[in-house]
Amino acid sequence: MAEPKNNTVLIVDDEESNIFALTHILSPLYTILVVKDGQDAIEVSQEQQPEVILLDIVMPEMDGYSVLAALKASDITKNIPVIFITGLSAPDDEEKGLALGAADYIIKPFSPAVVKLRVQNQMQLIDQTRQIIAKETAEKISHARSEFLSRMSHEMRTPMNAIMGMTSIMQSGATDSKQSEMLEKIAVASEQLLKIIDNVLDLYDIEDNKLRLTDAPFDFGDMIDRALAKAGKSAEAKGQMLTNNIDPSIPDAIIGDESRLEQVIDSLLSNAVKFSPERCAVGLNAYARGVEGDALTIQIEVADNGIGMSAQEQKALFIPFEQAYGGVDRKYGGAGMSLAISQYIVGLMGGEIEVDSQQGKGSVFSFTAKFRLQELETSEQERAAISGKLALLVDDVEINREIVMAMLEDAGLEFECAENGREALEMFEAAPGKYDVILMDINMPEMDGVEATRRIRASDAAEGIGVPIIAMTANVLMSEVESYIEAGMNAHIGKPVDYNKLMAAIAGSLP
């Protein structure tokens, strides 16, 4: 027997004329299976699992009622809708069939239009049920995946925070050149691992359509300097020359998502350095491409004279994970995520990303992005704004507190510490108006940061909006970040905590 297609109807009847008529009515719409006795109906139903069964009642050896009872007793066939088509028209006959689980009841002689509509109704119910099941299954899978990524993000970022923070502290006091070299390698490897973690989470947010841009003032020149400094370490190790040409007409003070822009530039510079041989040149160029209203379009190019790419290789550049299976990446490494993420981010910024490359002659990656113009406080003004403020630092991990305490001390902030949300709530309620800002870890025992924030906002001591609360979290999935904001947090920064981002978040949250 041929493999049935979707929307298959099984006709069970011992009369050839009925079979002919029903087949003629339904075959243009559905795949038709035919059997003439009850036992065959049970076996075919279990084997082929048709969507709908049209079942005669009066048949030799095994009648339709017995067939229906057997179908409903089997886990394989119990959910297949059965429509009785019969000459038995007494109310008791119909009642008996419906009581056994029949989905519908058609009296012979039947109308072709009625048969079509009754079968069609059952098919629609099946489709609706399938859609509901598929939606519920997808939601369960999405929730499980989100839960897994949230947990893994926290479990990986927590030790990364300690490694990177303590490495930075040790680097500042290292005097032995060998130790300094090893610490630098730890720092570089940690940043690379953190980038992979971030890329995986970004891909999840992109797939879930939850990747969002922030909109805040930043210093374009400072951001470019940081990106060049990070790429410069790898370039120096390969004896490469890293150059830059920044259009002086680009103002330092612009508004947009600094972190995401830096992420794209980091990705392009990292690839350029990685795929260029030793003693080659890598250049970063930025140009102002016009202003419309308060929107400035900036074009950024990253050029190298490295290995280049064929036209075929260029087609796969922006497909996630595609690069990882090419011969180039087997040699140079890389998971093939960053360019796909970069393309998505650039699109959110109102721009496009392009590549111009020839094998053996290098590559030029170019993208545009739009930003708004605004005066920006200098770093000195920002530091003056936060100096002397009192922060309540809430984190259950001692080494995390030590790292952030060192940052706060360096910036001239005073601070007090709490080891969990309950202690933070008690300290807040004991001294209303005492703290200028609260730095709140999310995952803590006894009372987590989200619950502590809700209670602080609900406290009489909060007096409305109250003190700014900044989330410090190892989980940067947008679905989770949204819940932090809903709980009453003003901003969030990811772990490992970055000094500049922490200070910018504090300055931006203060009145």
Residue 509, phi then psi, degrees to nearest 5: -95, -15
Amino acid of residue 251: P
Q: What is the pLDDT of residue 329?
A: 47
Give the three-state DSSP class for 319: coil
Q: What is the pLDDT of residue 326?
A: 45
Q: What is the pLDDT of residue 330?
A: 42
Give a three-class secondary structure readout of 189-257.
HHHHHHHHHHHHHHHHHHHCCCCCCCCEEEEHHHHHHHHHHHHHHHHHHCCCEEEEEECCCCCCEEEEC
Residue 307 corresponds to which tokens in the numbers above?
A: 């290995």
Nearest-angstrom CA–CA distance, 456 and 461: 8
Nearest-angstrom CA–CA distance, 400 and 158: 8
pLDDT (tens digit, 0 to 9) for every residue of the chain, 511 residues total?
444 456 899 999 999 999 999 999 999 899 999 999 999 999 999 999 999 999 999 998 899 999 999 999 999 999 999 999 988 877 788 888 888 899 998 888 888 999 999 999 999 998 998 899 888 888 888 777 777 777 777 777 778 878 888 888 888 777 788 888 888 888 878 887 887 888 778 877 887 787 888 888 888 988 998 899 888 878 888 888 888 888 888 888 889 999 899 999 999 999 899 888 888 889 999 999 988 888 899 999 999 988 888 888 888 788 765 553 344 444 444 446 888 899 999 999 999 999 999 888 889 999 999 999 875 454 566 677 788 899 999 999 888 888 899 889 988 899 999 999 999 999 998 887 899 999 999 888 889 999 999 999 887 555 545 889 999 887 666 667 778 888 888 888 887 788 878 888 898 888 7
Measured CA distances, 363 to 244, 271, 300, 301, 366 (Å)? 16, 10, 14, 10, 10
- Sequence-distant (6+) residues with CB within 8 A of 298 are 220, 250, 286, 287, 288, 289, 368, 369, 370, 371
Q: What is the pLDDT of residue 381?
A: 66
Q: What is the pLDDT of residue 148?
A: 77
Nearest-angstrom CA–CA distance, 18 and 11: 9
Q: What is the pLDDT of residue 463?
A: 54
Q: Residue 340 CA to chain centroid, in angstroms?
A: 13
Q: Which of 137, 233, 153 has its CA nearest to residue 197?
A: 153
Measured CA distances, 54 to 11, 67, 131, 306, 373 (Å)? 5, 12, 24, 69, 70
Nearest-angstrom CA–CA distance, 376 and 396: 35
- CB 210: neighbour CB atoms within 10 A? 15
Task: Produce one character per residue of 376-407: b if its CB has 16 or more CB atoms within 10 Å, e if not.
Answer: bbeeeebbeebeebebbbbbbbeebbebbbeb
DSSP type of residue 420: S
Nearest-angstrom CA–CA distance, 427 and 111: 79
CB 15 within 8 A of CB 58: no
Measured CA distances, 405 to 245, 393, 497 (Å)? 38, 8, 11
Measured CA distances, 194 to 200, 284, 302 (Å)? 10, 24, 23
Q: Residue written as tokens 């075919």?
A: 44
Nearest-angstrom CA–CA distance, 15 and 13: 6
Which helix (H) or strand (E) segment holds residue 481: the answer is: helix 478-487
**DSSP structure string for 174-193:** ---HHHHHHHHHHHHHHHHH
Nearest-angstrom CA–CA distance, 411 and 25: 82
Q: What is the pLDDT of residue 4?
A: 42
Q: Which of 288, 305, 242 has its CA nearest to residue 269?
A: 242
DSSP type of residue 295: E
Q: How far apart are the first and last CA of the chain?
A: 77
Give the three-state DSSP class for 283: strand
CB 145 within 8 A of CB 204: yes
